[in-house]
Amino acid sequence: MPSFLGIPTLLGWQLWYLQTATVMQFHLNGFRPGDPAITPAACVPQTDRLPASVDVLIVGSGSAGLTLAAQLSAFPDITTRLIEAKSGPIEKGQADGVSCRSMEMFEAFGFAHTVMREAYWVNETTFWKTDPDDADSIVRTGRIQDVEDGLSEMPHVILNQARVHDMYLDVMRLSAHRLAPDYDRRLDRLDVAETGTHPVTATIIHSPADAAPTEEMVRARYVVGCDGARSTVRSAMGLELKGDSANKAWGVMDVLVVTDFPDIRQKTLVQAAGSGALLIIPREGGYMARIYVELETLGDGERARDRNITLDQLIVATQRIFRPYSFEVKNTIWWSVYEIGQRMTDRFDNAGDAPNGPLPSVFIAGDACHTHSPKAGQGMNVSMGDSFNLGWKLAAALQGRAAPELLRSYSTERAAVARRLITFDQEWARVLAEQSSGAGNTPKFQEYFVEHGRYTAGVSVRYEPSQLIGEPKYQHLATGFDIGMRLHSAPVVRLADAKPMHIGHTLRADGRWRLFLFADAAHPTTSGSRLAQLCRYLYDNPASLLRSHRPAGEDIDAVIDVRGIVQSDFRSMNLGDLPILLRPPKGRFGLIDSEKAFCPDLKNDTDIFDLRGIDRCNGCIVIVRPDQYVAHILPLDGFSGLSAFFRNILTSQSS
């Protein structure tokens, strides 16, 4: 199949995905018939009545709230409830762009393949501006590949936010909790105590359609506000969104349209002198398109809703920009008008800035803590990233696998991401509004789009060195796995069954850390192998981190999952020759987990050691956080450094 740097081209991509997608593991503790995606119920089924106390109360069932709920639903011992003021899930409108990075995250939740099948794939982006020879016409100035080759194994896609929500709801429904949102429930008040196991008390108004409103009270160990730009949780925390709203109104509409514009099925940016800017986002299904169109200039302090702008005005503005092409709207599915605004809160939790002050018990995520224009396609993606960062930390603290001080890192890490987003969005809005040209015949907005492609793909986030991110002392051992950035996956072949797959697809949204052990030059079956020596230490030494941080009775990989990548071809090695850590016995029968060892994909000339700059002589350890970010890189003989890194994060357990 055609490929570049191990990433299949569009020809055959879907077939490639079906071949390389991670196969689920089940039957570990005995044969279980039926759909393996359905986790056996491990608790009392959820009822319509809220419990008196919960571990985590999530407010708001948007993308941020559902990402968090889906992740927490993976833990049967954590009680989570999600309240939503609306009467049910959304059906249309709102966000639609899914970045490559979000698709990588969806793979961890198990539904990336469904999104890929349904979504529109953004393969190219085209650029148009006013024809210099005809002021009443527009002309194409360029077209580029939307995502650079090798950036991710996942595409950039467009899909109705409601369908993404459906997939999260399926994850929740299939979990041990059978978790579902509690609709028709509006948060009325939050009270936070300084002490107690459940310090946050939420007063909730339940307003079902067929009964009078009633008041409910729930005590929670943690509350997370995912309740949007008008967040009640944020207000209860005494925080506010700070920033500016630009004096420009924009319209957005999802339409079924008949047009002779040649790029209606391409992502397209148009800048027409005197008429404004326009952005086309083709939608899934082959016929629908989303149109963002620049509208009127607003006065100081004026809001877009004050203008009473109509759908007809959006259509007329679009037709004016599209000249000389026709644009006949046959059906409008959804439309809205908004003004550009970039705002964020000072912090994303209620802990304050004092390092020894109270620990956080209330958090906000998504639009509750940062807002910006939708044209950059980052809103839903960054919001889901907030929750993916927070979810594993909440689980670790609640399960006693990490001290609750870990939760301070959420606001620190994600506020920095939000600040970069605000800066990008301000510049992007300014560039779209400009009528000046770039270099030669290339418009400036085209230059800016190309320059920031990695940012819009979602893969440029870098967390700074901290308790959770190591210093780059050993970065040279794996130059293609940047410390602090998401794990950049690459093709491998699983040793036990010769299955071609991506190493990143071994990452599940299950709260576990990962150690990827890349072999040194010595054959792993020899006594001089550093890989074998490390594996023996980790498996046999009572003081090793796999034992000291693992509760008694749990499998060896319950907290930290170890995977080994050797340099040999899969046909030249037997799984049984590898250290037992890479084929560990698990479960009540002591069955062998044969899916821990991998080889380079030499058949397709996509050797992971070459693609990711792994030191072939010395090998290395790549530590990956539960949210798929590279936490540290260490040498294979760095036993003490490895233990020290985890000792600063995970608590000691009896084993």
Q: Which amino acid makes up residue 415?
A: A
In whole angstroms, give the CA distance from residue 54 to residue 77: 11
Do residues 520 and 530 make contact, with C-beta atoms less than 8 angstroms apart? Answer: yes
Compute the residue count for the chain.
655
List, for residues 604-637, the tens digit of each pLDDT value. Answer: 999 999 999 999 999 999 999 999 999 999 999 9
Three-state SS for 12-40 is CHHHHHHHHCCCCCCCCCCCCCCCCCCCC
Q: SS3 for 641?
A: helix
Q: Which of 112, 8, 148, 114 is nearest to 456 (CA)?
A: 148
Which DSSP string do the residues of 368-406 spell out, in sequence order?
GTEE--GGGS-HHHHHHHHHHHHHHHHHHHHTTSB-GGG
Distance (Å, rounded) from C-alpha 233 to C-alpha 237?
A: 6
Which residue segments constitute the domains of the chain, with CATH numbers given? 33-118+156-241+345-414 (3.50.50.60), 472-647 (3.40.30.20)
Strand ranges for 355-497 from DSSP E: 362-364, 370-371, 491-494
Tell me the HSE value of 485 on the side-chain side, using a 13 A CA sphere: 18
User: Nearest Cα to 619, choosing from 597, 603, 637?
Assistant: 637
pLDDT of residue 363: 98
Helices (H), 73-131: 100-109, 112-118
Rounded to an integer, what distance in angstroms lies between the CA atom of residue 140 and that of residue 151?
Answer: 26
Read off the pTM. Answer: 0.93
Residue 415: per-residue pLDDT: 95
| Cα 282 to Cα 576: distance, rounded to the nearest angstrom | 51
Q: Which two tokens stand for residue 574?
A: 């037997």
Q: Token pair of 338, please?
A: 């908004």
The phi, psi pair for 195, rounded to 5°, reads: -135, 175
Task: Check whether the bond before 45 is cis (ω within 30° of 0).
Answer: no
The terminus-to-terminus CA distance of the chain in angstroms comes to: 48
Indicate the residue type of 24: M
Task: Compute the chain's Rg from CA coordinates.
Answer: 26
Residues of the chain with pLDDT under 50: 1-19, 436-440, 655
Q: How far is CA 297 from CA 290, 294, 313, in A?
A: 22, 9, 14
pLDDT computed for residue 39 by the predictor? 82
**Euclidean distance between CA atoms 458 and 268, whole angstroms:** 19
pLDDT of 11 = 41
How far apart (Å, rounded) are the C-alpha atoms in residues 211 and 209? 6
In the sheet that 630-634 helps form, which strands lie side by side, from edge to edge? 499-502, 491-494, 597-600, 560-565, 513-518, 620-624, 630-634
Q: Which among 474, 412, 460 has a CA at the least distance from the CA of 631?
A: 474
The pLDDT, as a whole number, for residue 16 is: 47
What does the alpha-carbon distance between residue 202 and residue 225 come to, in Å, rounded to a whole number? Answer: 11
627 in Cβ contact with 389 (< 8 Å): yes
pLDDT at position 642, please?
97
